[in-house]
Structure 1
Amino acid sequence: MAKSGNTGNVFDLGELRRLVGELGAGPGELRAAVLDAVGATDAVDDCDCPDCGTEVLSFPPVELAADGELAAAVLKVPLVLDAQRLAAWTGTREVTPEGLLPDPFLACAELGVPSPSRLHLLWVVAVNTGMLRISRGVATAGPLALSAELPHRAALEFWDGVVMDVLDRADESLTGSAVVDDHLAEMLATMYAVSEGLSTVTLVKGILQSHEVACEARPAEMRELAAALPGELESALALLGYCGLIELSEAGRPRLTPLGVWAVRQDLIREGHDAPTGAEVAVFADLGGTELVDAIIKRSAAPSAVTVWLESRSPEAAARELVGIAATGTAGQRGTVGTILEELGPEAEPPLREALAEPSMWRYAASWLHIRDLPAPPLTPADRTWIAVDTLASLVQLGKAAEAMREFDALEPGEDLVRVVEEMALADHPDTVAVLDLLGAHHSDAAVAKAARKAAMKTRSRRS
């Protein structure tokens, strides 16, 4: 999400899975909380902008409240009510050159607002949403008139603006806790991923872990932060409740309100993340395996569609259908199937064991079994090279050339990449030449590119 001062990753993905697991969440919720495969990371070729190539997260499908219910709830949010009171109190009034009230303490006293910082948040909301208009040093009533007669979509557009104003304040001390403000957006995204709510203990653990990794905090700082954070988080959650974003579940855990779910989803979508509604992904449940794989390859299916598809059939049935597609399909189909199979546990073993007899699939099946500590034939270095070629070919066929280059560079450091190219040339894989051509044309290391072009030429000669 945007609007967090922290430019590092969101909660560490493995840590997030562990923390959510402490709540006893089901496999489907964990699977969809963060999906770092099946197209979860797309890089834009030939683009130097800092946002390109950043990780795209996939969140579990949510059920949104009806627009009418949400619109009515907007009018009851304490922040919104106080912003309305501030606008009415202001009437027509001169403001400072910065467009602010000249005496915020007077407004706080007369309106019962607890602090100038809270008043400033209300002022920002009132001005930015159109409750107030500032012109030539004077604040007057703006064009927005909030009432139950306001069209539902207009009320929700207003609410979206309110939440953006709130989250933008995280850069200027929204909650009174620097570390909560720094990780606010990722905390809300995590709560979005676990609809039943997260305990404050879990939230504290997540923030501490994220802060330690992203900010490289020293042990002394972490000890001090661990002592102060529970109290700071409690105050921050109270403020977020005042802003209409957080409520307590029946179990007493902080969770997003229906308005919070709607607003966080809007922000996730703006940031390019996959945050569907249940209705949007329900259509994928009845697709055949081939249709699903093809839809993912064509990018007409969001990653969360995989969760719905898997949950609509038994693990063994899903695995058997997918293995059949991969055994006779292209590298792109095998790569897509492979990422889906990673979501399945040992209960899908029978079809994967049968796949050991398939020439183009057995190496993946053996790797899948090994990872789950199940008996499987060993993979030789040549087998691993074949998988590397297949993986790169899959990425190329999926239109992810830049990701393929990064995948290749991760195989071996430095000069050893030339050796990897030579080993790839010996792989008995139908797409070896295509992969070598890609490396020869686009790899940034001149020695690697030259070795790939030479290897591609030799491979063509051998196969002609």
Structure 2
Amino acid sequence: MDAPAVGDLAGKGADALLDGIAHYPESAARAEVKLWLAGYADGAVSAAAELLAAARGTDEGGPLRRLHCQQALALAGPEAEPAVRAVLGDRELGGLARVWLAERGAADVPAPPEDMIFWLAIDTIAAHLDADGELDELQGLIEGLSAQHSGFFDEVWRVDHPATADVLEAMGRLHSDKKAAKDARKAAFKARSRAGR
């Protein structure tokens, strides 16, 4: 198998970029995205719109594509703001858009609805599970997200995301707090029952 080389994805579509950088080391992925953005003739708004469109999807690869989209948008610059704002109401991309805007100190960023917060939490953890990152980092993410909202496990199992039950099972395995881990496992059971699996 050939190792990916920086520049291999230049001139290809955003879908190829988001899927392709999964096989790159972090620094090479950043360099590849920078090359892709620099070669995008229609400008940052069009590039961001194409990245966001490619990030959509409820398939297994969707969460990781959205994570890569968020990482790519971080390099796109403030010119991408109109395309990012255009997806604020999108169920799959609205949370990602709010994070991007907040990180840049943008004005008039609407608060996300609670269901979007939980959906983004599930999507983010699913992406990190797919990325096979550092276990300590993943555990910190899981514990941080579940601690941000009182009654997290009482609500999150209702999230209509294809990875909800799998993410909750992983949270039950990885959470260091025994009560929270048990709550996560119970929530995973409820999510599976709700989905009929």
Structures share fold, TM-score greater than 0.5: yes
Distance 1:427 1:353, change over 3 A: same
CA contact (8 A) 1:356 1:365 kept: yes
Of 107, 113, 127, 1:380 maps to 113
TM-aligned CA deviation for residue 350 of structure 1: 2.4
2:120 and 2:182 mapped to 1: Cα distance? 23
State the Cα distance separating 1:393 from its structure 2 match: 0.8
> Residues 50-129 of structure 1 correspond to what in structure 2 (within 5 A)?
none
Q: CA deviation at 1:439?
A: 1.4
1:211-230 mapped onto 2 (5 Å cutoff):
none
Q: Does 1:315 align with 2:44?
A: yes
Shift of 1:375: 3.1
Residue 448 of structure 1 deviates from its aligned partner by: 1.9
Correspondence for 2:145:
411
Q: 1:287 aligns with which of 12, 18, 25?
A: 12
Alpha-carbon contact 1:316-1:349 (below 8 Å) kept: yes
CA drift at 1:300: 6.9
Equivalent residues in 2 for 1:300-339 (5 A)?
Answer: 302-303=28-29, 304-313=31-40, 314-328=43-57, 330-339=62-71
CA–CA distance in structure 2, aligned partners of residues 453 and 428 of structure 1: 17
**Residues 1:409 and 1:344: Cα distance change in structure 2 (over 3 Å):** same
Task: Give the partner amino acid of 1:322.
Answer: L
Query: What is the alpha-carbon distance in structure 2 between the residues aligned to residue 299 and residue 446 of structure 1?
Result: 36
Q: Cα gap change, 1:294/1:345 in structure 2, threshold over 3 Å: closer, same or farther?
A: same
| Contact persistence 2:67–2:127 (CA under 8 A) | yes
**Superposed displacement of residue 339, structure 1:** 1.4
2:130 aligns with one of 383, 397, 419: 397
**Residue 298 of structure 1: aligned partner:** 23
Report whether the alignment pairs 1:427 with 2:152: no
Unaligned runs of 5+ in 2: none
SS across alignment from 1:427: coil
Counterpart residue type for residue 124 of structure 2: T
Normalized per residue, the structure richer in helix is 2
Change (3 A) 1:298 1:421: farther
Matched residues, number: 183
What residue identity is the alignment partner of 2:118? T
Counterpart amino acid of residue 397 in structure 1: D
For normalisation by structure 2, the TM-score amounts to 0.79
- Is the CA contact 1:355–1:362 (under 8 Å) kept in the aligned structure 2? yes
Partners of 1:327 and 1:426 lie apart in 2 by 21
Partner of 2:194: 462
Distance 1:459 1:291 in 2: 32
User: Is the 1:332–1:394 Cα contact (8 Å) retained in structure 2?
Assistant: yes
Q: Please say if residues 418 and 451 of structure 1, whose CA atoms lie closer than 8 Å, have aligned partners that are also in contact.
A: no
Instruction: Return the offset for 1:418.
Output: 7.8
What amino acid sits opposite 1:400 in the alignment? G
Q: Residue 419 of structure 1: CA displacement?
A: 3.2
Q: Which runs of 4+ in 1 moved over 6 A?
A: none
Q: Give me the identity figure in percent.
A: 32
The residue type paired with residue 284 of structure 1 is: L
1:357 shift after superposition: 4.4
Change in Cα spacing, 1:345 to 1:300, as seen in structure 2 (3 Å) is closer
1:338 is displaced (CA, Å) by 1.1
CA contact (8 A) 1:369 1:375 kept: no
Shift of 1:325: 0.8
**Aligned CA-pair RMSD:** 2.5
Alpha carbons 2:18, 2:55 under 8 Å: kept: no
CA contact (8 A) 1:418 1:448 kept: no
Q: Give the equivalent residue in structure 1 for 2:73.
A: 341
